[in-house]
């Protein structure tokens, strides 16, 4: 995977239903798994950065014992 990542336009938000049969969904379903994996990795690097490959997800839940 090359180090040139596309820029993200953070001014656009598109929300789709997972049940939608769009051309984009059909395109990705037609790709072989390694192409889909590389696209996911590219998205991850655009969001979290190239150097943060070992970062963990931020904890947002806390376990509390009831008395």
Residue 42 placed within a domain: yes
Residue 31 lies in a domain: yes
Higher pLDDT, 37 or 24: 37
pTM over 0.75: no
How far apart are alpha carbons 34 and 25 in whole angstroms?
16
What is the total count of domains within the chain?
1
- Residue 50's contacts (CB-CB under 8 Å, 6 or more residues apart) are 3, 5
Q: Is residue 60 left, alpha or beta, with left meaning phi > 0 and alpha meaning psi from -120 to 50? A: alpha
On whether residue 6 sits in a domain, the answer given is no
Q: Does 10 reside within a domain?
A: no
Residues of the chain with pLDDT > 70, as a percent, come to: 81
Each residue's pLDDT tens digit, 28-58: 899 999 999 999 988 888 877 776 655 566 6
Is residue 39 one of the residues assigned to a domain? Answer: yes
Range of the domain at 35: 22-48
> Is 30 a member of any domain?
yes
Residues 6+ apart with CB under 8 A from 16: 22
Q: Is residue 32 part of a domain?
A: yes
Q: Which two tokens stand for residue 67?
A: 């008395």
What's the pLDDT score for residue 35? 95
Return mean pLDDT, the chain.
Answer: 79
The SS3 assignment for 54 reads coil
């Amino acid at each position: 995977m090359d180090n040139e990542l596309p820029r993200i336009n953070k001014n656009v938000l598109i929300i789709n239903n997972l049940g939608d049969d769009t051309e984009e969904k059909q395109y990705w379903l037609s790709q072989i798994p390694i192409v889909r994996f590389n696209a996911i990795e590219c998205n991850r690097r655009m969001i979290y950065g190239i150097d943060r490959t070992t970062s963990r997800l931020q904890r947002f839940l806390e376990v509390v014992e009831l008395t």
